[in-house]
Amino acid sequence: MLKRILTLTLILASATFASAKSYTVKLQVPTVVAGTQLDPGSYKVDVEDSKVVIRSGRTKVETQAAVESSETRFSSTSVRYKNGDGKYRLAEIRLGGTNTRLVFN
């Protein structure tokens, strides 16, 4: 009985992790995301529904984003910024190889 419960738990846990999609994004400038400034560099971006987690090493930022579809696929991953107060704020990520873009508030 215990073995069946453990097996079922592992199956459900793996299904949960399989639903999140991961991408790699390179930030060129210091970037503010959800009030946290991220240094330039490569980051892993995990997307599950509208929840987005951006991480590199010990740095981790969780935020919400609108997940939108474009009519055409993006040939490469690109990052768009807002700059109104002297700081670069993450506005949008276009995910290369997909027609998906993440729009941040």
pLDDT digit string (tens) for the chain, length 105 residues: 556 654 545 555 554 445 679 999 999 999 999 999 999 999 999 999 899 999 999 999 999 999 999 999 999 999 999 998 889 999 999 999 999 999 998
* Local structure of 5: helix, strand or coil: helix
Distances (CA, A) of 58 to 22, 61, 103: 17, 10, 24
H/E stretch holding 11 reads helix 2-19
State the CB neighbour count (10 A cutoff) for residue 105.
Answer: 11
